[in-house]
Amino acid sequence: MRDLKANAIILIAYLLAGIGSFLMAIPPGFIAPVWLPGAIGLAAVLLVGYRALPAIVIGAILLTLPYGLFVLEAGPVSSLAGSAGLALAAALQAVIAKRLIHPGTVSAMSLETGPQLARLIAVGAIFASLCGAALASAWLTIGGFAPPDLDFWTAFARNWAGNAVGAAAVSPVILLLFAKERVSRRRKRNVALVFAILSVIGLATFATTRFNAIEQRREAFATLITEDHIALQERINGARRRLESLHALFAASETVTDQEFATYVAIAFGQFDSATSVHWLVTEDGGQLSQHALLDPPAELVATQARAILVTSDRRVVTDHYFEGLPNLVETTLLTGMLSGTPLFGEGDEAWIGLALPAFAGNTIPATVNDRRRDFRGIAVGTFDISTIISRAFTHEGDDYSFRVSGIGSDGVAPWSFGTLDADSRLTTSLPLAIGDETWLIEFAATDRFLAEKQDWLSWAVIVIGLIFITMLNALALMSTARTDLVQRLVDEKSAEALALSNNLSLVLEHAADAILSVDGNGRGVLVNPAAAHMLGYELDALTGEMIHELIHPVDLQGRPHNRTECPVFQGSPDQSRHSGIERFRRKDGSDFFAEFSTEIIISPDGTTVGAVTILRDITARMEEEADRERFIEQLTRANEELERFAFAASHDLQEPLRLISNFTGLLASRHGDKLDESGLTYLRHTLDATARMQTLITDLLAYGRLNSDADAMNTDVDLTALVSSTLDTLGPAVQAARDHIEIGSLPVVRGNPARLGQLMQNLIGNAVKFQRAGQQAEVRISARDLGKSWEIEVADNGIGIKPDYREQIFKPFKRLHSPDTYPGSGMGLAICRKIVQSHGGMLTIVDNIPTGSIFRFTLPKALPTESGEVGTPSETVDP
Ligand code: ADP
């Protein structure tokens, strides 16, 4: 439905444009100087796409079919074929234009930039119509649909120029006026106005030029035919003069021999090549006429030659004619006594003028008809070939005009005529032709060719140059209006953006939790947000224009007075435009608060400070919290230290009684064991075991507690290889038994405390050998990896492993996963290990060993480099 409506509109526009173009067309080419439908087609495909094609095809057929049928009279079939070809060319042109223009043009319709317009004109108007014109002209001239005298190149040139110029001048305007894109009404109106004015000027110039040209042609025609008319009249007069001289010959002598006649005629008519026969007919008594005939009479005349004219006794010419019409001619001459003429027609186009001149006795013309009949002595008759007369007189017949010579009948109807006059000619002139005292009429009709010559090219030039001019002015109008349009649009957009921005900024300022204050170059408040006013205890507008520096506490955090000159706004420099820190501020009511501030100094390009923006955050609460926290930590640390001291003292003091219990229980067993029965001995053994465990616990606890003291030096280079092997020596029988299965990789020299590191290795290796399944051979591997800044040491075993859930718990003091009966121990080993690694700045963790067992990993600092650059060779280390 939408398509139908669009197509209907396009079709109507196309037809109107076509009719307008035809009106501008000038014969004989009948090709419009400007083919406006091309412009409609181009604009239509660009506006609605290929949907416009049906309208273009139908429009082209409707325009050209009547032309073929009625102007060229080419017959229905070839007219239809011709217009179909032209329609195809029009569609092709539109498709090419659309394909080439559209992909590259972002905003094809608003033609906002010069390149867009240039592209439309170059590709859409000039190039696409080149293709259309080539096809159309080939179709026209090869298919024989064109006017007869139109060759391919002329057709092509006119078609192309007309199409291209029309499309270039008109399509941008159509596109702009009907574009869906944002084109302001003002711009549309301006462009339409400029185009309309220019078109009116162009058309007026075209019409004036054409009118002038027609006028000029009319004048040229008048001059031309006057010349030719005079020449014709002269020619006829010449014939008459020759006949008169012939007449003088016979008047002078009554008897003229054929020989004399021949000589004389040869002299008089020899150079007069239109004369076909010359006769001298004389009346004789008894009605006999003697005659001389010369030159080359036409066949018909020859056939009736002998004694052709009989004059009766009453001197009437009788019917035995020399040629048809002669009696009338003679009669006319007798009536007037003067030269008389008559047209003579032969076969086909052959025609002559017969001229007759009477001779009377006494060589004077008797006054009355009766006297003239009486004195009639003879008649000189000449026949002149009209074609030859005309061809000698007329210089431009045929090409420039057609003509007709006719007699004037009494009723206004020509009794006879010669020649074919183009009755449709737009310029005809008739002039009289004097034959004796008789008048014939000669009519001239200008040919289309004559009328079109010059005028055609002039008008074309006017139209084409005019349209090029229109195109250029239009382009200027399009682009200049586009610029104002663009500027307006830009202004609108930017204003909207600015408004949105300022709204956003107001929102930000209004809702910011931090105080925002901006000051001018003198440090006076320019803008203060509600948070700032609230923080400082002022009304919102109260701080505008006030010295903002006065809000800072008069004494700074170091107890020095705060000078106004120290205000950051006076300290700004291009390299240091930001100041931040913590400052004490004073509210309006005199109360103080601490705030973190950040000030950005605004420095203009010439280096002067034009103002500053400061953001304040009240940190009074935070500072109080921090002070509370620090106090709390201090208390906690103190309590912890006391607790540790107490635990250490307690375990140390517990050792003594425990040793006594252990010693005395041992003595009881050794000295009085024989007095005890079986269960008594068992109790004694349990007591001994428990005290031993208690002792281990206390020893380990003391060891753990001792690690808290920083007394131990941590800065010795320790060769781990030596450390591990000496550690192994100190370990119990289980380790000794597994010693062959303890693999010691190449271990580095690290920095730390040898005693603590020995303890660490002892615990880890001990555990690795201890936590094995019954009957399984323990396999332990100790290795190291360079992490760049530190060493990563790994102790891996094939033991029972540790479930992921317990991997963190087992580092807690006394945490054990088994009963002392299964695997003996205090549960302090790993806690001590972690503390040792931590005291070396590292971390101890557990990872899975595949397929079974555990891997303990920890980092230790590298030994300091020696002078040779090597890190910790064994020779330079302290052997623990
Ligand atoms: P203890 O060895 O005195 O029991 P530790 O602190 O050294 O105490 O170890 C805590 C627990 O971690 C042990 O009871 C044991 O369950 C587990 N554990 C430690 N090392 C290993 C190991 N190499 N393989 C398996 N379990 C281990």
DSSP secondary structure, 652-678, as one string: HHHHHHHHHHHHHHHHHHHHHGGGS-H
- Are residues 814 and 735 located together in one domain of the fold? yes
- Are residues 612 and 754 located together in one domain of the fold? no
CA distance linking residue 519 with residue 570, whole number of Å: 11
Residue 70's alpha-carbon distances to 74, 98, 246, 273, 720, in angstroms, are 8, 34, 56, 44, 118
pLDDT at residue 292, as a whole number: 47
What CATH number did the domain enclosing 301 receive? Answer: 3.30.450.350
- Are residues 525 and 438 located together in one domain of the fold? no
- Eight-state DSSP code of residue 125: I
Residue type, 161: A
The answer to the question of residue 290 being in a domain is: yes
Pocket test for ligand 1, best of 698, 701, 821, 830 (most atoms within 8 A of CB): 830
* Ligand 1 neighbourhood includes 829 CB (under 6 angstroms): yes
Token pair 């079986």 is found at 678
Residue length of the chain:
880
Nearest CA to ligand 1 atom 11: 816
Residue type, 114: G
- Are residues 24 and 49 located together in one domain of the fold? yes
- Eight-state DSSP code of residue 148: T
Report residue 28 as tokens: 């004989």
Nearest CA to ligand 1 atom 20: 767
Token pair 């073929």 is found at 68
- Are residues 524 and 593 located together in one domain of the fold? yes
The answer to the question of residue 527 being in a domain is: yes
The answer to the question of residue 306 being in a domain is: yes
pLDDT at residue 878, as a whole number: 39
Report residue 695 as tokens: 């002792």
Alpha helices in 253-379 (DSSP H): 258-269, 299-303, 326-336, 369-375
The answer to the question of residue 235 being in a domain is: no
- Are residues 666 and 581 located together in one domain of the fold? no
Which domain range does residue 273 map to?
253-395
* Ligand 1 neighbourhood includes 696 CB (under 6 angstroms): no
Nearest to residue 7, comparing CAs of 627, 294, 15, 147? 15
* Ligand 1 neighbourhood includes 830 CB (under 6 angstroms): yes
* Ligand 1 neighbourhood includes 802 CB (under 6 angstroms): yes
What CATH number did the domain enclosing 543 receive? Answer: 3.30.450.20
- Are residues 10 and 132 located together in one domain of the fold? yes
CA distance linking residue 148 with residue 613, whole number of Å: 88
pLDDT under 50 in the chain at which residues?
28-29, 106, 108, 285-321, 872-880
User: Is 714 in a helix, a strand, or coil?
Assistant: coil
The answer to the question of residue 468 being in a domain is: no
| End-to-end Cα distance, the chain | 102
* Ligand 1 neighbourhood includes 811 CB (under 6 angstroms): no
CA distance linking residue 88 with residue 65, whole number of Å: 13
Q: Looking at ligand 1, which atom is closest to the CA of residue 828?
A: 6
The answer to the question of residue 880 being in a domain is: no
- Are residues 266 and 316 located together in one domain of the fold? yes
The answer to the question of residue 264 being in a domain is: yes
CA distance linking residue 766 with residue 745, whole number of Å: 18
- Are residues 598 and 647 located together in one domain of the fold? no
pLDDT at residue 476, as a whole number: 74
* Ligand 1 neighbourhood includes 824 CB (under 6 angstroms): no
Cα(807) to ligand 1 centroid in Å equals: 10
Q: How many domains does the chain have?
A: 6
- Are residues 310 and 386 located together in one domain of the fold? yes
Residue 69's alpha-carbon distances to 79, 81, 83, 482, 697, in angstroms, are 6, 11, 10, 46, 127
Nearest CA to ligand 1 atom 25: 801
Q: H or E stretch including 279?
A: strand 275-283
User: Is 788 in a helix, a strand, or coil?
Assistant: coil
Q: How many other CB atoms are found less than 10 A from the CB of residue 546? A: 15
Residue type, 824: P
- Are residues 763 and 677 located together in one domain of the fold? no
Choosing from 618, 641, 674, the residue where a domain stops is 618
- Eight-state DSSP code of residue 49: G
pLDDT at residue 852, as a whole number: 84
Buried b (16+ CB within 10 A) or exposed e, 692-717: eebbebbebbbbbbebeeeeeeeebb
Q: H or E stretch including 68?
A: none
What pLDDT digit, counting tens, does each position of 834-844 carry? 999 999 999 99
Residue 530's alpha-carbon distances to 591, 612, 618, 638, in angstroms, are 19, 18, 14, 46
- Eight-state DSSP code of residue 103: G
Nearest to residue 422, comparing CAs of 850, 11, 843, 27? 27
pLDDT at residue 880, as a whole number: 39
Enumerate long-range contacts of 11-18, CB under 8 Å, 24 or more apart: 11/55, 11/58, 11/59, 11/62, 13/40, 13/44, 14/40, 14/41, 14/44, 14/55, 14/56, 14/59, 14/60, 14/63, 15/59, 15/62, 15/63, 18/59, 18/63
CA distance linking residue 196 with residue 200, whole number of Å: 6
Cα(706) to ligand 1 centroid in Å equals: 21
Are residues 555 and 549 in contact, defined by beta-carbon separation less than 8 angstroms? no
Nearest to residue 713, comparing CAs of 653, 660, 755? 755
Q: Looking at ligand 1, which atom is closest to the CA of residue 825?
A: 3
- Are residues 157 and 37 located together in one domain of the fold? yes
What CATH number did the domain enclosing 827 receive? Answer: 3.30.565.10
CA distance linking residue 447 with residue 402, whole number of Å: 7
The answer to the question of residue 199 being in a domain is: no
CA distance linking residue 796 with residue 124, whole number of Å: 83
Pocket test for ligand 1, best of 693, 761, 816 (most atoms within 8 A of CB): 816
CA distance linking residue 601 with residue 578, whole number of Å: 6
Cα(456) to ligand 1 centroid in Å equals: 117
pLDDT at residue 583, as a whole number: 87
* Ligand 1 neighbourhood includes 813 CB (under 6 angstroms): no
Cα(771) to ligand 1 centroid in Å equals: 7
What CATH number did the domain enclosing 68 receive? Answer: 1.10.1760
Nearest to residue 95, comparing CAs of 41, 59, 137? 41
> Dihedral sign, CA of 212, 218, 222, 224?
positive
